[in-house]
Structure 1
């Protein structure tokens, strides 16, 4: 599934689209270490003149076309809401193809683009970044794949690492000391496992074991038995599940883990993905009291309403990433900064205010986002720890 390129960065083939409650999931998730370095470069601009921005999206890709349109809509909505900053936007079709993405990135820069927003897929973003690295132009991609980040490429998508860190740090403050990881034996599961292991180590929580499963009744059952046995024998106080809520394995795990010794009364269930997308899970034994993360709900709802008013439909879940990219550019340019598109400016420690709350771009090309910790209580989603409104306090 993966192709490793001996170039400036390692590139990971994009994971296949998954159709679920979220619709088309566009960003491949990788927990490999970033091989990119800090980035201080980027073109100087006159913030009092229109800023030329290129949007690279897969408009003609049959599977990704609707996502591409939502990203373009969100970009235009963000531009319309800027105060005192003018964006000259040009849209380029990558067709969901890596080679086309690279060619379009070069074309965009040749036509005057000072920064690139997109592409959607990790491999395409890597190719686009490589194509224009010698031009000193930064790429704000919609991928969540940290292995492509670094140099002139930033990823805007929420990563497993960000979510795992938030939940493990919260768990530490709640007195949690040990965890068993339950993960799928596939690429996303392995990456999720690695993220949790790193986050647990950082938080000072001991990983007692990691139990993988194959997607079958027999496979999930065997893993639930193994995990439950370890939890009982070692007195583990939490179990962290990497599985997507929309995956067929999730209801099996939430039934089988409690039945095999992972008693929700004494074992904290934690999810690496959002469980609010699947309310039919709420009455299962392992769901009550489980922890997972959510964005800032008030800000997300405000964006959803504005988008719907402008375009007559709800936004795709990934649309907000495009809005965030413009918000960051606009926030810097509105301060009269001629260096607004440089790595030094884009990675300011105070970050930016986006669709789903505060976020900031890191010098290694990854990002941090403010996330709330939520739970299921009496079949309702309840916020346990609100998303932080700024950096430096609890939640980061």
Structure 2
């Protein structure tokens, strides 16, 4: 029988957690700075070898906007459980309502009910609050967020980060002999932190950032920045231009049209994008898209996951559903080893896992690394230049 802990002693902690969440971005996917290397991972409650592992899944089931995402996440978690071999997961689902206060409350309830680890929540504020609520009991949280500001302590993030993508792209650029880049970014939170990720990855890979040019989201703002970026490319003899803009953003087609018009020829300067351009194939015919690089998960593994999910549930998964599958896969692999400390921070960061989109691992700072492929655009079609590696050893990570 599991001990039910008193709720009163959590009051101050919960209030502190709620106050701290006000400092974070309102929702994902704002990828912001981390905790300065603060180690992640609580010791974790012991599990019993051979017994079902109690796992709490925290999702925003009653959130009107995120409810369908919550359903897809739960389905993906159950799919992963059905595919585990030699280990049983006792999945218990809790509704966060998409709210930080409710996430903290149900996280505590889950631990009182015997949960050994928490999978979720979805939003950064909710994940931060949930982690704070159960941190004194040593329970780790595998959040679906990609907001690196909340990573650390007992909170891990499963969502893909700008830093991971930037490092993969920059390592590829270095391998192709690129030495000098110009960065174009949107003057907002995602753009600014995308810029930082690119600049940091460039430094690590010995590539010089000649200039970083911001734009305001307007016709005049994008046009002016395209001119400045082109001038920076030409004056500094840059060999590459990195764009942080999300492919779905209205600025992207303008940049891919106007940068070449201002003299940044794709035949002479390598274009690269920090986000996935394959989600918008209409970009492929634009001048700046020709030969451009961007990163994406292992296509074969992603397609296999999508097919299995669709066959099981009769509809395609939400793009975020794979994160729940990944979390259960990691928990299952570690629990199968039969160690009492399988869900400790040390164990979580000691192994690599195979997920819905390829291999990944959790890092000691609470963030993650994912194996990515490098794609390009040729003849208006996406082509894989460098496949996603099958392991994360010796891949520049």
Q: SS of 2:97's equivalent?
A: coil
Quick one: distance in 1 between partners of 2:40 and 2:280?
39
Greater Cα offset, 312-321 or 34-43: 34-43
Does the Cα contact within 8 Å between 1:34 and 1:147 map onto a contact in 2? no
Distance, in Å, in 2 between the alignment partners of 1:50 and 1:115 is: 13
Q: Report what 2:244 is aligned to.
A: 242
Structure 2 residue 119 is the aligned partner of structure 1 residue 120: no
Match of residue 320 from structure 2? 318
**What SS is found at the alignment partner of 1:336?**
coil
Displacement after TM superposition at 1:7 (Å): 7.2
- Give distance in 2, aligned partners of 1:81 and 1:7: 36
Deviations 1:160-217 (A, max 9, x none): 0000000001100100001100000011000100100100000000000100000111
The number of residues matched between the two structures is 382
2: CA distance, partners of 1:165 / 1:124: 28
Displacement after TM superposition at 1:335 (Å): 1.7
1:74 pairs, out of 69, 76, 83, with 76
Per mean C-alpha deviation after superposition, the further-off stretch among 86-95 and 38-47 is 38-47
- Structure 2 contact 55–89 (Cα < 8 Å) conserved: yes
Contact 1:28 1:121 in 2 (8 A): no
1:282 aligned counterpart, secondary structure: helix
Partner of 2:197: 195
Q: In 2, Cα distance between the equivalents of 1:59 and 1:356?
A: 24
1:108 matched to 2:110? The reply is yes
Contact 2:131 2:154 in 1 (8 A): yes
Tell me by how many angstroms 1:337 deviates: 2.0
- Find the counterpart in structure 2 of residue 94 from structure 1: 96
Could you tell me how far apart the structure 2 residues matched to 1:345 and 1:8 are? 29
**Greater shift in the superposed pair: 31-40 or 209-218:** 31-40
Aligned to 2:388: 387
Match of 2:298 in 1: 296
1:30 deviation in Å?
1.7
SS in 1 for 2:167: helix
Deviations 1:302-322 (A, max 9, x none): 000000001101101100000
Q: Which residue pairs with 1:217 in the alignment?
A: 219
Structure 2 gaps of 5+ residues are 1-14
**TM-score, reference length from structure 2:** 0.93
User: Which structure's residues are more often helix, by fraction?
Assistant: 2
Contact map agreement 1:31 1:160 (CA 8 A) in 2? no
Residue 361 to residue 65, structure 1, CA distance change in 2 (3 Å): same
**Is 1:357 equivalent to 2:358 in the alignment?**
yes
CA pair 307-14 structure 1, distance change in 2 beyond 3 A: farther
How big is the shift at 1:39?
A: 2.8
Q: Counterpart of 2:5?
A: none
Is 1:329 matched with 2:340? Answer: no
Q: 1:260 to 1:387 in 2, by over 3 A?
A: same
1:29-52 CA-to-partner distances (Å, cap 9, x unmatched) read: 223444632435111101300110
Residue 42 of structure 2 contacts residue 139 of structure 2 at CA under 8 Å; is this kept in 1? no
Change (3 A) 1:103 1:36: farther
Structure 1 residue 27: deviation in Å? 3.7
| 1:4-42 C-alpha deviation (Å, 9 max, x unpaired) | x987996553445xxxxxxxxx54322344463243511
The residue that corresponds to 1:375 in the other structure is 376
Query: Matches of residues 29-44 of structure 1 in structure 2 within 5 Å?
Result: 29-34=31-36, 36-39=38-41, 41-44=43-46
Query: 1:204-241: CA deviations, max 9, x gaps?
Result: 00000100000111000000000001111111000000
Q: Alignment RMSD, CA only?
A: 1.7
1:295-347: CA deviations, max 9, x gaps?
00000000000000011011011000000000001111112222111111110
- Over 3 Å counting, the alpha-carbon distance change for 1:383 and 1:254 in structure 2 is same
Q: C-alpha displacement at 1:354, in angstroms? A: 0.6
CA distance in 2, matches of 1:9, 1:389: 42
Measure the CA separation in 1 of the matches of 2:50 and 2:16: 41
**Kept in 2: contact 1:387–1:395 (CA 8 A):** no
**Alpha-carbon separation, structure 2, partners of 1:266 and 1:6:** 53
Structure 2 residue aligned with 1:153:
155
Mark the CA change 1:111 to 1:358 in structure 2 (over 3 Å): closer, same or farther. same
